[in-house]
Amino acid sequence: MNELRCIIGGDEINYPYSIEEFIVLEGHLVVAKHNNERSLLQSIINIRPDAVIINTSLETKNLLELCKNISEQKIAPIILIGNQLETHKLSSYYIKTDVFSFIIAPINRDNFISVLEFSLSKFQQIVNLEKKVKEYEKQIEHRALIEKAKGLIMKIKGMTEEEAYSMMRKISMDQCISMQRVAKAIIKKLG
């Protein structure tokens, strides 16, 4: 795994080693540490780390808002660390956010690194899927534009669907512009 840039939030966690030690021993960097939610969020937004690890010692309401802010911006996977009692108390809240893992203390280095790697992998999969969805939405939008323009040409010029599409494709190739731009121009002119 490449060198990761991690941000740690909340009180220092020692079980018997700190999370920072686990991260550094694995060859990664801790680029910021904060006990305050506001400064933690500001660092996350400015630095855009690869992972965010937060101790649930932060106030529950603030922690939930912080997790929502991070997840809405798709900055990095969030890993929470807490005790058994916090798991039951907070689990319903975190289901509503993009918290990738909740580790119950005490933890060891191997478990922490496994969770970190898993969270990074799942986060990247989600980001990639969201990109694909946006690409497909754009393709559908472009296709709809082309179909609308083609329909206008067929109606106004009395052409078949194939003839209208061929005309649009010829304009696109002759003027070295995309079919979407051709479709927009036709809709603007004829629609």
pTM of the model: 0.72
Q: Residues 35-50: pLDDT tens digits?
A: 888 888 899 999 999 9
Q: Residues 52-71: pLDDT tens digits?
A: 998 876 666 677 788 888 88
Domain boundaries, the chain: 5-107, 134-190
- Look-up: residue for tokens 């109606």? 155
Q: For residues 112 and 133, what is the distance between their CA atoms, to the nearest angstrom? A: 32
At 59, the amino acid letter reads E
- Give the CATH number of domain 5-107; options: 3.90.1150.10, 3.40.50.300, 3.40.50.2300, 1.10.20.10: 3.40.50.2300
Just give the CATH number of 134-190: 1.10.10.10
Q: Which of helix, strand or coil describes residue 39? A: helix
